[in-house]
Chain A
Amino acid sequence: MKDTTGTILAVVSAVLVATALVLVFLWAPLEMTMKEVQRIFYFHVAVDWVGFLAFFVTLVSSILYLRTAARKWDIVALSSVEIGALFLTLGAMTGSLWARPVWNTWWTWDARLTTVAITWLVYLAYLMLRGAIDDPQRQARFSAVYGIVSFVTVPLTFASVFFLRTIHPALFAASTAAQGRMQFDTGLGSAKMGMTLTFCVIAFTVVYVTLLRMRIKLERTADRVARLQQELVG
């Protein structure tokens, strides 16, 4: 069975990511303090962004599931959590790789990192919850409920830790050298950084959509197998 859309998406993703790599390593400006290490920031932000986007997708499909009781929304929610968890893990790893040379530590409990950690734990809890329930309807319902309740607390977690000092670099600074801000040699440098970043975010979002689609198809196939099994037996 040919899957044209899937193939197209996969190809597009590959092209976008390849282009992103080129942009990041060859075109983007050199940051003055952190030098080459800073380049990982492009991937880090893009991947983290997708990690949180996935959560939002889960929130929306959870709400839709509760309103319609349609299995397809449950499939979307589940798939998004799995892929979101993957991206968030990558985000944390790239963050650590960046942090070590720059801050001299692998991890710190500032606002954003803490929120990432909590979100990751929520994803894990979501998957464990699903794993502990046999009845498919209940599994879907409970996951949807948890998806909604836990999403609400993520911004609250961010707010709570935000009130503490953060050593996380601020994103957009063209000029002054405040502690932890990124600096580029000219104004054009900042613009190039902005464009590279946007491109990376788009590229990884497309990757997310590709993977999401694949995961959804996988789950749908599993459903069909289960249904066929039931019909054969009963």
Chain B
Amino acid sequence: MIQVHNLVKSFGPTTALRGVNLSVPEGQFVTLVGPNGAGKTTLLRILATLSRPTQGTVKIGGHDLSQGAAEARRKIGLVSHQTLLYGDLSAEENLRFYGRMYDVADLDARITQVLEMVGLAHRRRDPVRTFSRGMQQRLAIARAVLHRPSLMLLDEPYTGLDQDAAARLEAVMSSVGTEGRTVVMTTHDLERGLAVADRVVILVKGRVAFEAQRSALDGPAFIAAYRQYTQ
């Protein structure tokens, strides 16, 4: 699904990614962790086509991003720590707008479907700025899955959520995630990140420092590895 080869990203004299190689097969759930400044958000933005590599190639669903990202965009859904929602519009209006931009078929039915999936059907007519942070995050997920993307990118989705909201989010994500999607999620929450993943990757100073299948790792071992590589 994803093939990243020798990815380098520089911002002037600063290099955020120094040759990242990553291959993610379809249907895999990857949790990406690393200290602040490791390049997690930069990597995710490049995967989301919001940013272009300085060097290296990125392929998503077989589409080389440098050749025209429009087709790849149809397959990608992003949940970042900004909600990407218009506060003055209602939940329904937001979804309808994005649905139009993505050419979603049977839009009305699909809107109802995703709103029910995230448990916000009762608030569909309310302006988004009246939603709590947890509700906005859930609506953001609804927006991200609206067009049935095969790749989900989640950038620290638990930020700013209390325990209750985080548990809700997890429930939503698992119900949404079982549709055979590929997922790449960045997080600072090591335990949660490990629990939901098929595979974990530690990114340090713009490089992949460590990766392992979840089956080969347990909680304490992962935390130990994290400490080791982020010294």
Interface residues of A (CB under 8 A from B): 135-137, 223, 226-227, 229-230, 234
A213→B14 CA distance, assembly (Å) = 26
**Prevailing SS type, chain A contact patch:** helix
Whether the pair A223, B11 counts as a contact (CB closer than 8 A) is no
Q: What 16 new A-B contacts, CB under 8 Å, besides A135-B12, A234-B14?
A: A135-B11, A136-B11, A136-B12, A136-B13, A137-B11, A137-B12, A223-B13, A226-B12, A226-B13, A227-B13, A229-B13, A230-B13, A230-B14, A230-B15, A234-B15, A234-B205
What 1/0 mask marks residues of chain B from 1 to 30 whose CB sits below 8 Å from any chain A CB?
000000000011111000000000000000
Question: Once the chains are docked, how many angstroms separate the CA of A135 from the CA of B15?
Answer: 12
Report Cα–Cα, A171/B15, bound state, in Å: 54
User: Footprint of A on B, CB under 8 Å?
Assistant: 11-15, 205
Chain B residues whose CB sits within 8 angstroms of the CB of A136 once the complex forms: 11-13
Contacts across chains A and B counted by CB atoms under 8 Å: 18
Inside 8 A of B205's CB, which chain A residues have their CB? Answer: 234
Residues of B within 8 A of A229 (CB): 13
List residues of chain A with CB within 8 A of the CB of B11.
135-137
Task: Name the residue among B11, B14, B205 with the largest chain A CB count within 10 angstroms.
Answer: B14
- CB of A29 to closest CB in B, whole Å: 54
Chain A residues near B14 (CB-CB < 8 A): 230, 234
CB-based nearest A residue for B18: A234
A19 to B14, CA, bound (A): 48
Assembly CA distance A136 to B16 (angstroms): 14
Q: How many Å from the CB of B10 to the closest CB on chain A?
A: 8
Q: How far is the CA of A137 from the CA of B14 in the complex (A)?
A: 11
Chain B residues within 8 Å of A137, by CB? 11-12
| Chain B hits for A227, CB < 8 A | 13
- The CB with the most chain A CB atoms within 10 A, among B11, B12, B14, is that of B12
